[in-house]
Amino acid sequence: MIPLVVVENVKRWPFHLEGVEVISAKSYLIDPRYTDLKRAAVYNLCRSYGYQTVGYYVSLLAAARGTR
């Protein structure tokens, strides 16, 4: 399983976690390499999950892709 930590701004993420890929929410939403990851665990750490926010769409898309 591939753990993905999705944040709004990667430059503001102060931690380095071994074996974890930290990506921006924009990359997760538009980058085609994340569309076919069925064995991924997505941890959405965006600031807001309210309707029509980036965090909302990350969670929505992760559920639609069938990721954990």
Per-residue pLDDT tens for 8-23?
Answer: 999 998 888 899 999 9
- The residue with tokens 């944040």 is 7
* Res. 66 pLDDT band, cuts 50 70 90: confident
* Res. 68 pLDDT band, cuts 50 70 90: confident
- How far is it, in rounded angstroms, from Cα 41 to Cα 51? 22
Mean confidence (pLDDT) of the chain = 91
- How far is it, in rounded angstroms, from Cα 14 to Cα 33? 24
Decide if 67 contacts 34 (C-beta within 8 A): no
pTM of the model: 0.89
